[in-house]
Structure 1
Amino acid sequence: MPYTPSGFFCDRLIRERERRDGEGSLNKPLRFNSQDFGVLRQECLGGKTLFEDESFPATVESLGFKELGHKSNKVKNIVWKRPKEICENPQFIVGGASRTDICQGDLGDCWLLAAIACLTLNEKLLYRVVPQEQSFSEGYGGIFHFQFWRYGDWVDVVIDDRIPTFNNQLVFTKSAERNEFWSALLEKAYAKLHGSYEALKGGNTTEAMEDFTGGVTEFYEMKEAPKELYKIMKKALERGSLMGCSIDSLVPARFETRTVTGLVKGHAYSVTAVEECKPSQHKEAKVRLVRLRNPWGQVEWNGPWSDNSKEWATLSKSEKEKLQHQSAEDGEFWMSFEDFKKNYTKIEICNLTPDALEDDKIHKWTVSVNEGRWVRGCSAGGCRNYPDTFWTNPQYRLRLLEEDDDPEDNEVGCTFVVALMQKNRRKERKMGANLFTIGFAIYEVPKEMHGNKQHMQKDFFLFSSSKARCKSYINLREVTQRFRLTPGEYVIVPSTYEPHQEGEFILRVFSEKRNTSEEIENRIEADHPVPAPASAGEESEEDQQFRTIFQEIAGEDMEITANELKNVLNRVITKRESEIDKDLNTEGFSLESCRSMIALMDVSFMDGTGRLNLQEFRHLWNKIKQWQGIFKHYNADQSGSINSYEMRNAVNDAVMCLVSRSGFRLNNQLYDIITMRYANENMNIDFDSFISCLVRLEAMFRAFQAFDQDGDGTIRLSVLEWLQLTMYA
């Protein structure tokens, strides 16, 4: 069986392999819950049965876990029905999908429905999420499917068409047309993706917009909007981005209430165009305009540049045609950019990834995607307020390679957007999970360190200030921000605000020009160890002491077993501790640790004797003394243990000083494993565990090198060899 030293997290390897095979792309989405729509539909048609989805059954568990759970009165009278049981002549889509197909039911998921309404404005995007050629007539088998972007991959979600009803009316999302069901089924598929309908309660419209497009959202408060906001909006629309805006209402009772200007507070609008025109009386300057759309399809702005305002009379016929001006109560209207900034409080731009649209005429963002995780006790270091652990967070090297084509104010630089998204928190709500407060900081890498992919150490962050950072740490699914920095090399450090919070995330970098970003992941490697030469000088007093003890225990053959090694070490180290090192608080080495030590020193590995002679013991003792000194260095508080976050440095120091011209380096996944294996519940590692970890590490590396005859970093083992190696070490 092939084996490489980096192959520890099988799920990550599987994901990487799937990406190499094209899995997770638009053209080859992942099958959610391993369900193949085509195969399942064919089985239903062949057997003349209607599909029943066992992975999202028509039960209370699919409704929810608290307000829609078993103890809730709300679910008692809910009946799951298929559309053909609800009405005559059900249709998937009637007369094209539009905003009127989306009416909210008894579920607080208006954020999702607003995003669906926005999606209907872009037919190409809509029919990627809602595959066409689905119906209740030809090829009907009670099965439908929808596609969503989910943490870097596109997934195909299969559902049956049983929908919750009460008195034969849909409980949740419905269409204005009683016999139209695409929006209700889309909502069900999205609920399945997150575990239940109740999991959809409460959210942000941009969350769903991203799940429909694979895009990334930027938020701008109008009072703090950048001076180049107009240009940002124009570029976003040229790239096919989705854009919305709203007017905040501080009084909940006034949500969705019309103002004297015709605008509605607490309501989402779509931005559909950004243009410039030149009225005849404005000889010196052009007027910037914004076109918006009210999803209601009515109720419009009645100020300057509204449908019937006098400003339109100042434009030529060609200018009006360019702007597609119409006087109709259709919910769409123009207003000046200045009025737009005065009246609206927030704008959201969902920038599309390069794969979102295939039209070559649409400019696209370059994007790089990185997956990561914060592991308690190892790589969950918290924010910069925690300098002792901040440096242990995952780190990502960003290389900005090309400047923008049209820099503002003649300032050179690379424009890019960083998006940090935490994963699976909505799905894990039923287990009590909430969103973490997350953020990130960006540091410039010194030129002498360019190309060096080593993890940046604690001192770098103690003596370097961030070059840029997110505006604030916040408990949203995703934190995003736009930056402009000069070309060069940077390191991005994503983190939770508090340390010790464990979770998964993806970090995406969108740029107008080419960039690369990758996790700073130390390569797992080891130089071939060269044993330190034995000293030819006189024996020290300590050497004489343990020689005497060794002879006393070993007997005539001058070799010791694991049990005898345990006695020797514990007698020597107890004596040494009592005289010199009073802060180890060790209870002595276990028999299992001593067996690992013999395996380490056994040069023949699996064909060895299982014993140590005096020379081997002396070499082992020298190692332990050096490890003991390193442990003491990191045990600064004399507690008898070291913090698991410092284990990374302690391991690095230990393995580099054992042998001449050699050492080995680990990556972040291995540090995670070490923490899980050797740290206690308080994320501390005592002396015995520290020694056991180092012994096992070196033994496994030496064994690997013995099999890696050609030095290519890959070995092939039979099952017997694999079991012998792992059982002996």
Structure 2
Amino acid sequence: MKTNTSNKLVKFLNQDYDTLKAQCLSKKALFSDPTFPAAPESLGFNLLGPNSDMAKEVVWKRPKDIIQNPKFIVGGATKADINQGALGDCWLMAAIASLTLDPDILARVIHPEQNFEENYAGIFHFQLWQYGQWVDVVIDDLLPTRNGKLLFVHSLDKNEFWSALLEKAYAKVNGSYEALKGGSATEGFEDFTGGIAELYELNKAPSNLFNIMKKALSRGSLLSTSISVKDVTKEQLVKTHAYSITAAEELVRLRNPWGHKEWNGAWSDNSKEWDYVLPQEKAKLNYSADDGEFWMAYSDFVERYSKVEICNLTPDLSSSDHVGQWALQQFEGNWKNGSTAGGSSKNTATFSSNPQFVMNLDHESHGGMHTCSVLVGLMQKDMRKERKLGHNFNNICFAVYPHKGGKLSHEVLSTAKAAFTSEHYARREVSQRFALPPGQYIIIPSTYEPNHEGSFLTQVPLVGVSAPTMYITAAKYLTTQ
């Protein structure tokens, strides 16, 4: 068990940026990264494998070989700098686009002082959060191109390369570019902020969701949305595609990471509704032409989209004065076949073998309220790296039970009623908010089916805000029967 209270930076793969750069400058050589080489294995293993059509004619080039006078950032890092390429990582593009809304968070990730002029050595670095710790990721600036153009993410300004280099750093920590295909925007949100996410299904959303979204945006939280595969739209909205939510001001503003293909219904760029809005109000809403960003009425948004994901920022990252003081309590564990891989509660014969964590919820009585708001996130680790071996995300979930002492046995769990059972998803994280009375509880993270192996990180915010207050006074990993 550990609490996320330190911002200590870990050197990814033990590569020290300053040392490597100094070595290159002394040798008057450009850096080539041996841990993520400009080679087929860095592209991928199947759709981008060495013999795939997508990998044909790919040439790795440095920005100086692509265009004259390349720049790291041109005119500030903005949403227009993130345009999806030939890789199915719209979720990552949505996350990066939202990242540009907060200059302080963005600066921590990308080190904006980097450039192609002063002491240039073909080496760059980025700061990412990975499973409970911040890591500094070093890359060279050799980028995959075809016919002289960037193959993947690119800026509208052809001289600008920060987004392409950030995508490469993210591909490196996940094993390859292809490992980034498909995902949830909150995965990127968390890896850029160290925050904790929560999910709202719009078909059962709380009545105050719009206010939740508006307040979350005012706190600097990052938001995304998408339409499930079962939903169909004829209004230029793309199914199974991640959109950033960039504002909620009477209307909801979204952005397609493609940089084009926008909603064409009410309040779209050329709709008649804008004819009745004063110019100064248009300016306030940052109304613009075809750039991938568009406005919708909240009622249209809820009707057409399937879910909203919110990444709550830790206090050290948020510039808001209204976040409150909290940190993340983190529990690490493993599911091992034959010992701790017991499947979900539907498999009670093995369920009790899963790791168990105990937490205490205390609450200051206020206004007659007698429950605590709890947010739990269960995240499986390093599964994208396993894709080249034919593995994918486990289907994961967690259950919460009242606790009266000791580890819960099979006999107890076979008759006990869970205080809360999460949804189960085959994705990196299951994260849900729920209410419980004060007391002591056990969290049991599991794969949905037994005998599935993997390592995980469970996160619970420690809250210390104005009453009514919920906070965890004690938490530990139960290892004894």
After TM superposition, the score normalised by the length of structure 2 is 0.87
User: Which of 367, 374, 382 is equivalent to 1:424?
Assistant: 382
More helix by share: 1
Counterpart of 1:123, as a letter, is P
Q: Does 1:415 align with 2:373?
A: yes
Seq. identity, %: 47
2:351 paired residue number: 390
What do the CA deviations read for 1:666-712 (whole angstroms, capped 9, x no partner)?
xxxxxxxxxxxxxxxxxxxxxxxxxxxxxxxxxxxxxxxxxxxxxxx
Q: Give the secondary-structure state (helix, strand or coil) at the position aligned to 2:274.
A: coil
Provide the C-alpha distance between the structure 1 equivalents of 2:154 and 2:218, rounded to a whole number of angstroms: 33
User: Which of 452, 455, 460 is equivalent to 1:504?
Assistant: 455
User: Which of 375, 388, 406 is equivalent to 2:336?
Assistant: 375
* Bigger RCO (CA 8 Å, 6+ sep): 2
Counterpart of 2:127, as a letter, is Q
Q: Is contact 1:146-1:156 (8 Å) kept?
A: yes
Q: Is contact 2:330-2:460 (8 Å) kept?
A: yes
2:30 paired residue number: 50
Counterpart of 2:471, as a letter, is R
More strand by share: 2
2:103 paired residue number: 123
How far has the Cα of 1:41 moved from its partner? 1.1
Closer/same/farther in 2, CA of residues 194 and 268 from structure 1, 3 Å limit? closer
Counterpart of 1:393, as a letter, is N
Q: Does 1:456 align with 2:408?
A: yes
Q: Is contact 2:90-2:242 (8 Å) kept?
A: no
User: Which of 399, 419, 422 is equivalent to 2:360?
Assistant: 399
Provide the C-alpha distance between the structure 1 equivalents of 2:52 and 2:297, rounded to a whole number of angstroms: 50
Q: Give the secondary-structure state (helix, strand or coil) at the position aligned to 2:114.
A: coil
User: Which of 479, 487, 490 is equivalent to 2:441?
Assistant: 490
2:266 paired residue number: 302
Provide the C-alpha distance between the structure 1 equivalents of 2:374 and 2:398, rounded to a whole number of angstroms: 14
2:157 paired residue number: 177
Provide the C-alpha distance between the structure 2 equivalents of 1:421 and 1:455, rounded to a whole number of angstroms: 22
2:466 paired residue number: none
Provide the C-alpha distance between the structure 2 equivalents of 1:67 and 1:372, rounded to a whole number of angstroms: 32
How far has the Cα of 1:299 moved from its partner? 5.8
Q: Is contact 2:94-2:244 (8 Å) kept?
A: no
Q: Is contact 1:215-1:350 (8 Å) kept?
A: yes
What do the CA deviations read for 1:606-643 (whole angstroms, capped 9, x no partner)?
xxxxxxxxxxxxxxxxxxxxxxxxxxxxxxxxxxxxxx
Counterpart of 1:258, as a letter, is E
User: Which of 292, 295, 311 is equivalent to 1:350?
Assistant: 311
Provide the C-alpha distance between the structure 1 equivalents of 2:192 and 2:376, rounded to a whole number of angstroms: 19
2:221 paired residue number: 241
How far has the Cα of 1:249 moved from its partner? 6.0
How far has the Cα of 1:66 moved from its partner? 2.2
How far has the Cα of 1:463 moved from its partner? 2.8
Larger Rg: 1
How far has the Cα of 1:335 moved from its partner? 5.7
Counterpart of 2:221, as a letter, is S
What do the CA deviations read for 1:486-513 (whole angstroms, capped 9, x no partner)?
1111001111112222210000113654
Closer/same/farther in 2, CA of residues 96 and 47 from structure 1, 3 Å limit? same
1:621 paired residue number: none
1:474 paired residue number: 425
User: Which of 467, 478, 481 is equivalent to 1:521?
Assistant: 478
Provide the C-alpha distance between the structure 2 equivalents of 1:169 and 1:332, rounded to a whole number of angstroms: 24
Provide the C-alpha distance between the structure 1 equivalents of 2:346 and 2:433, rounded to a whole number of angstroms: 23
Q: Give the secondary-structure state (helix, strand or coil) at the position aligned to 2:363.
A: coil
Closer/same/farther in 2, CA of residues 307 and 149 from structure 1, 3 Å limit? farther
Counterpart of 2:449, as a letter, is E
Closer/same/farther in 2, CA of residues 269 and 502 from structure 1, 3 Å limit? closer
Q: Give the secondary-structure state (helix, strand or coil) at the position aligned to 1:401.
A: strand
How far has the Cα of 1:125 moved from its partner? 1.7
Q: Is contact 1:291-1:332 (8 Å) kept?
A: no
Question: How do 1:572-721 residues align onto structure 2 when only pairs under 5 Å count?
Answer: none
Gaps of 5+ in 1: 1-11, 276-288, 524-648, 650-729
Q: Give the secondary-structure state (helix, strand or coil) at the position aligned to 2:385.
A: coil
What do the CA deviations read for 1:376-434 (whole angstroms, capped 9, x no partner)?
111111112222221111001111123586x7xx5421112111111111111111212
After TM superposition, the score normalised by the length of structure 1 is 0.59
Provide the C-alpha distance between the structure 1 equivalents of 2:181 and 2:381, rounded to a whole number of angstroms: 17
Closer/same/farther in 2, CA of residues 50 and 441 from structure 1, 3 Å limit? same
Provide the C-alpha distance between the structure 1 equivalents of 2:452 and 2:267, rounded to a whole number of angstroms: 50
Provide the C-alpha distance between the structure 2 equivalents of 1:271 and 1:75, rounded to a whole number of angstroms: 33
How far has the Cα of 1:87 moved from its partner? 1.3
How far has the Cα of 1:467 moved from its partner? 0.8
1:437 paired residue number: 395
User: Which of 109, 116, 119 is equivalent to 2:89?
Assistant: 109
How far has the Cα of 1:162 moved from its partner? 1.0
Counterpart of 2:408, as a letter, is M
Gaps of 5+ in 2: 464-469
Q: Is contact 1:236-1:351 (8 Å) kept?
A: yes
How far has the Cα of 1:250 moved from its partner? 4.0
Question: How do 1:270-289 residues align onto structure 2 when only pairs under 5 Å count?
Answer: 270-274=244-248, 289=250
Question: How do 1:29-108 residues align onto structure 2 when only pairs under 5 Å count?
Answer: 29-108=9-88
How far has the Cα of 1:247 moved from its partner? 4.2
Provide the C-alpha distance between the structure 2 equivalents of 1:463 and 1:141, rounded to a whole number of angstroms: 64
What do the CA deviations read for 1:50-87 (whole angstroms, capped 9, x no partner)?
11111111111111222322333443422221111111
Provide the C-alpha distance between the structure 1 equivalents of 2:26 and 2:273, rounded to a whole number of angstroms: 56
Q: Give the secondary-structure state (helix, strand or coil) at the position aligned to 2:42.
A: helix
Q: Give the secondary-structure state (helix, strand or coil) at the position aligned to 1:134.
A: coil
Q: Is contact 2:95-2:244 (8 Å) kept?
A: no
Q: Give the secondary-structure state (helix, strand or coil) at the position aligned to 1:492.
A: strand
Q: Is contact 1:395-1:492 (8 Å) kept?
A: yes
Q: Give the secondary-structure state (helix, strand or coil) at the position aligned to 2:192.
A: helix
Q: Is contact 1:306-1:333 (8 Å) kept?
A: no
2:467 paired residue number: none
1:559 paired residue number: none
Q: Is contact 1:307-1:328 (8 Å) kept?
A: no
Query: How much is the aligned-residue C-alpha RMSD, in angstroms?
Result: 3.1
How far has the Cα of 1:251 moved from its partner? 7.0
Counterpart of 1:498, as a letter, is E
